[in-house]
Amino acid sequence: MNPWPRWSARWTAGCPPSGRCTSRPRTRLPWSGGIRAAGGRGRLGAGAGGRAGRHRPGHRLGGAVFALWQPYEHPGFGRRHEPGTFAWAELYARDTEAANAFYGDLFQEALFGPDADPDFGRAPVSDVFPAEMPPHFLVHFAVEDVPAALEDVTRLGGRIQAPPFDTSYGTVAVVTDNQGASFALLHR
């Protein structure tokens, strides 16, 4: 049995184990050891990002794919929560208790530390999703006007997967880009 979830075109946000996508460089990341210690697996080797930094994809067994990011010259998101920039990442998980334990251990500081200001949440993969849908992260980009942004998505060759709906963190629409990678549009 293949232990890796199906990899397809996808958007993902890479964060260092501190969980702060804008954190300063760390001298050591737990790469495979930390991912395995938390109950997951690293995918491939740590990827070189040149002078920008390096990344390591991974996943919790039976869970969603994510990436660790060690910044060098590129600290991460320079801007957030502005139209056209990263705004949120939502983890959809079938086993929310296992996800809480895994990500709570791996990203302890970002979730529970004194400076915690997480840009992500977690929701159960419920009956509204097809049974074959795997656990996944859905990256959200901020927009001023969701209907206008949906027009841009379709004009540029993307598709609407879910029309606008209200959540606890804003109005969301789920789309795919012209390569088939899913992401969400978010207005707060």
Question: Is there a contact between 53 and 70 (Cβ–Cβ < 8 Å)?
Answer: yes
Residue 105 token pair: 């251990």
What architecture (CATH level 2) is domain 86-187? Answer: Roll (3.10)
What is the torsional sign of CA 169, 127, 131, 150?
Answer: negative
Q: What is the per-residue pLDDT for 53?
A: 72
Q: Transcribe 94-128 into DSSP letters.
A: SSHHHHHHHHHHHTHHHHHSTT---SEEEEE--TT
3-state secondary structure of 169: coil
Query: CA 94, CA 83: separation in Å to the nearest integer?
Result: 31
Residue ranges per domain, the chain? 14-71, 86-187
Average pLDDT per consecutive 10 residues, the chain (188 residues; last block may be shorter): 50 59 39 63 58 68 70 71 89 85 74 72 80 85 97 98 93 94 94
- This prediction has a pTM of 0.77
